[in-house]
Copies of this chain bind each other. A is one copy, B any other.
């Protein structure tokens, strides 16, 4: 039996009840669920902790939010929450960490292999009942550059090693530089991208990273390289990407995230040759994973231990 029972509001447009049920199953009694702005407004007074996804953050400025001390985001990126830092300064914000590396790295290697091995050609031969032996290319020996060496980047690095790739990395903090064969700083983007067969973006979206991948960076890349974005859409200047790829530069782009999501039906990225779009599914927040992370963090909160995934507003993630 838990002695301290903080008042928790779970907010999610689609999954609020599922998350709330899971949290209650861990012995927490005062758990409310909200899926709309109205429900959020109604339940906010007296709430100490929010577990939220796409929360209508504008109401956190109102007096009804005065009791909120901690906001746990359902997700790894918090750019939406701290885009206007005036809102949430009175509360601790945490994000999910160490949950997405497995999913995202599996996604990355799925697409690297799918394209490199020309699975489409193999499938077509089967449809046509044709014997079509050819020598697929090898991932081994190719060079992958991972931008962002947090828990997601580190997991991509680990799998790249198993595929005997050359592994380069760039990070702003310089942490985990020892993971890669060659490490670059944020002053060395051009040098970093030049030597790559694959550039994988796992960076958070901050003032420092927004539209970082622009025309200059793209043109510095090897014309036969691939760009993979599993971070945030706005890391890339999409207009620049479209114009550079229209020139025939880059062998392909694998994009799971976009400046506008859902990607609008009439967006040119859906139809460009050599562009592979997916629907922001590379690092899904599973109910079970998020709930476990939150409940673990909740126990730390109750025990006055430091929370996991605390967002640094200056840094932006």
Chain A residues near B (Cβ < 8 Å): 102-103, 106-107, 109-111, 113-114, 117, 119, 122-123, 125-126, 129-136, 138-140, 158-159, 161-164, 261-263, 265-267, 270-271, 276-281, 284, 286
Bound-state Cα–Cα, A138 to B104, Å: 10
Contact indicator A263/B113 (Cβ below 8 Å): no
Contact indicator B133/A163 (Cβ below 8 Å): no
Contact indicator A126/B270 (Cβ below 8 Å): yes
A265 in contact with B129 given A102-B164, A158-B162 (CB within 8 Å)? yes
Contact indicator B281/A133 (Cβ below 8 Å): yes
Q: Which residues of B contact A277 (CB under 8 A)?
A: 126
Shortest A56–chain B CB gap in Å is 21
Can you list 24 A-B contacts with CB-CB less than 8 angstroms, sorted by A residue number? A102-B138, A103-B136, A103-B138, A106-B113, A106-B117, A106-B163, A107-B117, A107-B136, A109-B113, A110-B113, A110-B117, A110-B119, A114-B119, A119-B119, A123-B276, A125-B278, A126-B277, A126-B278, A129-B271, A132-B279, A133-B284, A136-B281, A158-B162, A159-B163
Bound-state Cα–Cα, A281 to B270, Å: 31
Given A106-B163, A111-B119, A132-B279, output 4 extra A-B contacts at Cβ < 8 Å: A107-B117, A123-B276, A125-B279, A158-B162
Shortest A27–chain B CB gap in Å is 26
Shortest A135–chain B CB gap in Å is 4
Contact indicator A270/B129 (Cβ below 8 Å): yes
Q: Which residues of B contact A131 (CB under 8 A)?
A: 261-263, 279
Bound-state Cα–Cα, A146 to B44, Å: 54
Copies of this chain assembled into the complex: 2
Shortest A254–chain B CB gap in Å is 10
Shortest A115–chain B CB gap in Å is 10
Contact indicator A109/B109 (Cβ below 8 Å): yes
Contact indicator B162/A162 (Cβ below 8 Å): yes
A102 in contact with B135 given A109-B113, A119-B110, A162-B158 (CB within 8 Å)? no
Contact indicator A102/B140 (Cβ below 8 Å): yes
5 A-B pairs with the lowest CB-CB distances in the bound complex, closest first: A162-B162, A131-B262, A110-B113, A133-B279, A135-B284
Bound-state Cα–Cα, A286 to B132, Å: 16
Bound-state Cα–Cα, A261 to B262, Å: 46
Shortest A157–chain B CB gap in Å is 11
Shortest A2–chain B CB gap in Å is 30
Candidates B114, B135, B262; contact of A113 at CB < 8 Å: B114
Shortest A304–chain B CB gap in Å is 33
Bound-state Cα–Cα, A159 to B139, Å: 13
Q: Which residue of B lies closest to A102 (CB)?
A: B140
Shortest A127–chain B CB gap in Å is 8
Shortest A282–chain B CB gap in Å is 8
Contact indicator B140/A106 (Cβ below 8 Å): yes
Q: Which residues of B contact A261 (CB under 8 A)?
A: 131
Q: Which residues of B contact A263 (CB under 8 A)?
A: 131
A281 in contact with B135 given A106-B140, A110-B117, A119-B110 (CB within 8 Å)? yes
